[in-house]
């Protein structure tokens, strides 16, 4: 059976097309490999960022814990200072009350002296 006259041309075109497809397949494999590397690189970078963010979170939490401890210390010191201040004011109040009592006693004594002097002066006038 004889070959049709355009078989040679069709075979040449088919071979050229197969070569094009092979080249495109090679390029596609190359692009897919590059894409896989890019995705792997992004995964590594995302993991590194996640670790850095987590480390910052741990570090920030530790700093807040230290700040909380300092506030607790300040609060305790403030409570002690307030108690000392109230005790001082109470002592000052007792001191003022004692002084007031003594001044009242002195005033009563002076009043008694005045009354005695008035009695003496009246007796001398008679």
Q: What are phi and psi of 5, to 5 degrees?
A: -60, -30
Q: What is the pLDDT along the chain (126 residues), one digit of tens a residue?
A: 556 668 888 888 888 898 888 888 888 888 888 888 888 888 999 999 999 999 999 999 999 999 999 999 999 999 999 999 999 999 999 999 999 999 999 999 999 999 999 998 887 776
Q: What whole-number distance in Å separates Cα of residue 126 and Cα of residue 124?
A: 5
The structure's pTM equals 0.46
Please tell me the number of Cα atoms within 13 Å of 2 on its side-chain side: 3
Q: What is the pLDDT of residue 92?
A: 96
Per-residue burial over 5-18, b = 16 or more CB atoms within 10 Å of its CB, e = otherwise: eeeeeeeeeeeeee
Phi-psi region of 2 (alpha: psi -120 to 50; beta: other; left: phi over 0): beta
């Amino acid at each position: 059976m004889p070959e049709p006259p355009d078989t040679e041309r069709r075979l040449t075109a088919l071979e050229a097309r197969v070569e094009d497809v092979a080249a495109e397949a090679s390029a596609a494999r190359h692009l897919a490999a590059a894409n896989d590397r890019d995705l792997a690189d992004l995964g590594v970078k995302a993991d590194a960022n996640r670790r850095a963010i987590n480390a910052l979170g741990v570090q920030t939490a530790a700093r807040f814990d230290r700040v909380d401890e300092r506030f607790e210390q300040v609060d305790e010191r403030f409570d002690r200072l307030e108690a000392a201040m109230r005790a001082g004011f109470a002592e000052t109040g007792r001191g003022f009350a004692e002084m007031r009592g003594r001044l009242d006693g002195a005033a009563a004594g002076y009043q008694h002296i005045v009354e005695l002097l008035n009695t003496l002066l009246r007796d001398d006038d008679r």
